[in-house]
């Protein structure tokens, strides 16, 4: 699509896991700020519905976020649709896995390891390579942001989700390693660590209705996707020389993890 018919966009974002929860809320928040958004998710029907609702400011690409060809296509699509490369990447795609080290269903572990860690790493690598090159001439006039969605259980051991938490510990290590590598080159790397957020995550992780209700009784009101999206927007809207490395966001009553 020619950029001639599109308005100028202050920033262009790629968001994985954009069809629900934090990802969808972040897409909506960015669009409300005038950003162009390329959203990825597996639900092609939902992406199409978002395109129809949000208009030309949103472009969806369905597919598996662990596939290298899809990641390449996301970056190409940003340029094709909006006329310039993405300068925000939100690595949000992921899923949970309920259960302790002793009891977790390990037949599911390789799937979440591939999505939560391997797929995230591939996205971070592509984003970093592109942004470091661009920031050689853009910084400090323009910001470049890689935002990674972690979890409170990637910092605090939680027995009921320790196996899932292990994938987030890995992602946190990748985030900090990347920040130290590319921060000095003008690329900001920010880790957002949410507490309990009510979304489709609980179903995907196999959490029972009773467990979710217990969270609400103990910690509620719980976070929603928009709460985390506001945090992400705050990070990327700072001046280019201001680098917010880590933010943990919990429901007020959630004491642990």
Q: What does the CA dihedral 224, 151, 27, 235 come to, rounded to 10 degrees?
A: 110
pTM: 0.94
Taking residue 164's Cβ as centre, other Cβ atoms within 10 Å add up to: 24
Look at 166-180, 203-217, 239-253 and tell me which has the smallest mean pLDDT. 203-217
Q: Is the pLDDT of residue 6 over 90?
A: no
What are φ and ψ of residue 193, in 5° steps?
-115, 90
Query: In the prediction, which pLDDT does 201 show?
Result: 66
210 domain-assigned: no
Residue 113 sits in which domain range?
Answer: 9-196+225-249
Count structural domains, the chain: 1
What are φ and ψ of residue 59, in 5° steps?
-130, 125
Q: Is the pLDDT of residue 164 over 60?
A: yes
Of 207 and 135, which is predicted with more confidence? 135
181 domain-assigned: yes
175 domain-assigned: yes
31 domain-assigned: yes
Distance CA 37, CA 244 (A): 22
220 domain-assigned: no
Q: Is the pLDDT of residue 232 over 90?
A: yes
| Per-residue confidence band for 206, with pLDDT thresholds at 50, 70 and 90 | low
204 domain-assigned: no
Report the CATH number at residue 28: 3.40.50.720
2 domain-assigned: no
Distance CA 255, CA 234 (A): 24
Mean pLDDT of 241-255: 98
Distances (CA, A) of 107 to 84, 102, 110: 42, 13, 7
């Amino acid at each position: 699509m020619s950029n001639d018919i599109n308005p100028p966009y202050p920033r262009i974002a790629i968001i994985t896991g954009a069809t629900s929860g934090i990802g969808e809320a972040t897409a909506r928040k960015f669009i409300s700020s005038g950003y162009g958004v390329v959203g990825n998710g597996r639900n092609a029907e939902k992406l199409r519905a978002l395109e129809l609702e949000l208009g030309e400011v949103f472009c969806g690409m369905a597919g598996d976020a662990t596939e290298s060809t899809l990641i390449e296509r996301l970056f190409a699509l940003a340029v094709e649709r909006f006329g310039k490369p993405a300068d925000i990447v939100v690595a949000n795609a992921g899923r949970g896995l309920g259960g302790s080290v002793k009891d977790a269903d390990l037949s599911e572990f390789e799937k979440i390891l591939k999505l939560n860690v391997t797929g995230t790493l591939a996205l971070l690598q592509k984003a970093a390579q592109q942004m470091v090159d661009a920031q050689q001439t853009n910084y400090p006039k323009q910001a470049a942001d890689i935002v990674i969605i972690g979890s409170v259980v990637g910092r605090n051991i939680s027995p009921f989700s320790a196996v899932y938490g292990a994938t987030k510990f890995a992602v946190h290590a990748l985030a900090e390693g990347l920040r130290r590598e590319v921060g000095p080159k003008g690329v900001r790397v920010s880790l957002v660590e949410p507490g309990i957020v009510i979304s489709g995550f609980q179903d995907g992780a196999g959490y029972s209705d009773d467990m979710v209700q217990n969270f609400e009784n103990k910690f509620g009101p719980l976070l929603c996707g928009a709460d985390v999206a506001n945090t992400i927007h705050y990070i990327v809207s700072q001046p280019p020389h201001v680098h917010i490395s880590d933010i943990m966001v919990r429901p007020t009553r959630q004491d642990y993890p």
